[in-house]
Structure 1
Amino acid sequence: MEDIHTQGIWMAESLQKRTMSQEKIWLVITHIGDPKAAFLLVFPFAYFFSKRAGVAVLWVAAISEWLNLVFKWMLFGERPFWWIGESRLFVNREPNVLQFSSTCETGPGSPSGHAMVTAAVWWVVVSTLGSFLHSRTHSVVLSAAPYLLYVVMLVAVGMSRIFILAHFPHQVITGSITGFILGVVLSRRVPEGRPLLFFFSFSMGLLLGTLLLHAGLQQLGVDLSWSITLAKKWCSHAEWIRLDTAPFSSLTRDCGALLGLGLAQYWKPGGWSLPWAPRALSLAISSMGLYHVNRLPLPVRPQGLFYSLFFIKFIIVPQVVIVLVPGLVYLFTHKKKKD
């Protein structure tokens, strides 16, 4: 693996050297590829285009990110920003690379969560859009366009992760392939109309099962906090280490979103029926609402409180998109029509 890692470092150096003038673009792309964006950006857009696609996006995002966490615990993948120092292979020639505000993630590096979740979630979006275009235009060229954009997006997200030293190229490739397979498989079975008990059991099962796995590995002498220690040691700015990039943040986000999806479908089975104009209004208001929900400051000490509030935050997300905002828009537009 040393040769693969070394080549990955030189590739990152070359990419930074050639494209440093596009630094802001790479940072925007890596934010778009953030698993969090699947819940806060892609989900509302997909839902107000197609209810089934929206539910599928949330479902696929949660399951693929959870699997990514388990894979990372099992594979112990390094990250470039700490491997450069830990490997001690660059004494004679130190690579000329920079870290960025999004570099210092604290979880293991393999496979790339950004690439894996992006590939899974956006497969749902492009396959839905491709089918829609084909049914409306019967044009193979137009219906194939979303799939071309899908490939371009995966390449761009992968390169952005290499550029900021968050991942090695092989981690991005394995993440993209795994995510694509998950997107195809999981999107075929979307839990629409399932009872609340299904989502509660699934959410709590993932949460408790993962905690038991963590405790079991710790009992076997496996130190699952090794990546956090290295991230703190080699990150060039201490403030770039954030608790919301820790593995348990991913876990609580996924479990909270799944439980929230069940609650939203319980409160309003089938969702609200809205024409296109009220849907667009609902999308705009939902996006603003989720922006403010995401910006809510959470106390980082004690960590148990942070994770509990993080869990609740993502329970709220489906309520905003599926129940609250479209319900208010429906009441307003319905009353207006009646008058």
Structure 2
Amino acid sequence: MDEIHTQGILIAETLQEKLMSHKHFWLVATHCGDPNAAFFLVFPFTYFISRRTGVTVLWVAALSEWLNLVLKWMLFGERPFWWIGESRLFVNNEPNVQQFSATCETGPGSPSGHAMVTGAVWWVVVSSLGSFLYSRTHSVALSALPYLFYVLMLMVVGISRIFILAHFPHQVVAGSVTGLILGVILSHRVPDGRPLLFYFTSSMGLLISALIFHAGLKQLGLDLSWSTALAKKWCSHAEWIRLDSTPISSLCRDCGILLGLGLAQYWKPRGWSLPWAPRALCVAFVSMALYHVNRLPLPVRPQVLFYILYFVKFAIVPQVVMVLVPGLVHLLTRKKKND
């Protein structure tokens, strides 16, 4: 693997040399590929266009990130920003690369979670859009445009992850391919309209099974904190190490989202039926609400409290998008019409 990793560092060095003048674009691209973007951006916008597509996006995003976490625990992938120092292969020939605020993630690197979640979630979006365009126009060329956007999106997110030293190229490719496969499979198996018990057991099942798997690996003598220690050791700025980038945070995020999805469908089983103009208003209100939800400051000590509140924070997201804001807009627009 040393040869593969070395070539990956050389590719990252070349990308930084050629693309550094556009670094802000690549930093935005890497944030667009973050699983948080699937929950806070892609889900709300798609939900108010097509309820089923929005629910599918949420379901696929949660399951694909959970599976990515399990794969990372199994594959023990290195990350470029710490491998450069740990490998000791560059003592006399230090690569001309730099880190960024989004570089220092604490989990293992393989496969890329950004690429995997992006591949899964955006497959749901573009396949739905492609089918819609073909049903309206019967044009193969026009309906193929979303898929071209999909390939471009994966390439941009993948390059951004290599550019900031968060992943090696082979990890990005593995994440993208796995995400595509998951998107195709999971998009046809969406538990829309299932009872709350199903979502509760799914959420707790993923949480407990991941924790049991984690405990089992520790019993086998595998130190699953190795990546966090290396991230803290080699990150150029200590403040770039964030608790919400840890594997357990990802687990809490996914399980919270699934429970929140179940609660939202329990409170309002088929959602609010709104015309297009109120839906646009919902998007505006939801964007403002989720902006503040995302920025909620959580205490980092004790860590158990942080993880509990992080779980609750993401359980709130579907309530805001599917129940609270549409209900408020429905109430306001109905009153206006009656007046």
Q: TM-score range by the shorter chain?
A: over 0.9
Cα distance between partner residues in 1 of 2:333 and 2:297 = 34
User: Which residue does the alignment assign to 1:132?
Assistant: 132
More deviation, 305-314/132-141:
132-141
> Where in structure 1 are there 5+ consecutive unaligned residues?
none
TM-score (ref. length: structure 2)? 0.99
CA-to-aligned-CA distance 1:114-143 (integer Å, 9 cap, x gap) = 000000000000011111111222222221
Q: Once the 2 structures are TM-superposed, how far is the Cα of residue 60 of structure 1 from its aligned partner?
A: 0.2
Amino acid at match of 1:328: L
- The separation in 2 between residues aligned to 1:206 and 1:185, in whole angstroms, is 18
> Counterparts of 1:1-339 in structure 2 under 5 Å?
1-339=1-339
SS at match of 2:70: helix
**Separation in structure 1 between the aligned mates of residue 90 and residue 269 of structure 2, nearest angstrom:** 59
Number of residue-to-residue matches in the alignment: 339
Three-state SS of the structure 1 residue aligned to 2:135 is helix
- How far the C-alpha of 1:18 sits from its partner, in A, is 0.5
Counterparts of 2:308 and 2:92 in 1: how far apart (Å)?
47
CA distance in 2 between counterparts of 1:138 and 1:321 reads 33
Amino acid at match of 1:319: Q
**Mean alpha-carbon deviation: is it higher for 116-125 or for 328-337?**
328-337
Cα distance, 1:255 vs structure 2: 0.1
Alignment partners' CA distance in 2, 1:167 and 1:12: 9
Q: For 2:98 and 2:164, how far apart are their aligned partners in 1?
A: 7
Give the stretch that moved more between structures: 156-165 or 326-335.
Answer: 326-335
User: C-alpha distance in 2, partners of 1:258/1:25?
Assistant: 32
- The Cα shift of 1:215 comes to 1.1
1:216 Cα deviation (Å)? Answer: 1.2
Corresponding letter in the other structure for 2:169? P
SS of equivalent to 1:307: helix
Amino acid at match of 1:224: L
What amino acid sits opposite 2:42 in the alignment? V
Structure 1 residue 168: Cα displacement: 0.1
Letter in 1 for 2:253: R
> Helix, strand or coil for the counterpart of 1:217?
helix
Q: Using the TM superposition, give the Cα deviation of residue 213 of structure 1 relative to its aligned residue in structure 2, in angstroms.
A: 1.0
Mapped to 1, the partners of 2:289 and 2:143 lie a distance apart of 32
The ranges of structure 1 where at least 4 consecutive aligned residues each deviate by more than 4 angstroms after the TM superposition are: none
1:47-95 C-alpha deviation (Å, 9 max, x unpaired): 0110000000000000000000000000000000000000000122110
The C-alpha deviation readout for 1:251-281, integer Å capped at 9, x for no partner, is 0000000000000000001100011111111
Shift of 1:336: 1.4
Q: What is the alpha-carbon root mean square deviation over aligned residues? A: 0.6
In structure 2, distance between residues paired with 1:238 and 1:16? 22
Alignment-mate amino acid for residue 25 of structure 2: I
Alignment-mate amino acid for residue 265 of structure 2: Q
- Give the Cα separation in 1 of the matches to 2:91 and 2:293: 46
Give % identity: 78
CA deviation profile, 1:261-310 (whole Å, cap 9, x unmatched): 00000000110001111111101111111110000000000000000000
Distance in 1 of aligned mates of 2:19 and 2:315: 39
Cα distance between partner residues in 1 of 2:55 and 2:318: 9
Q: Distance in 1 between matches of 2:285 and 2:297?
A: 21
Q: Match for 1:312: what amino acid?
A: V
Question: Matched residues in 2 for 1:2 and 1:74: separation?
Answer: 19
Q: What letter is aligned with 1:126?
A: V
SS of the aligned residue for 2:194 comes to coil
Secondary structure of the corresponding residue to residue 244 of structure 1: helix
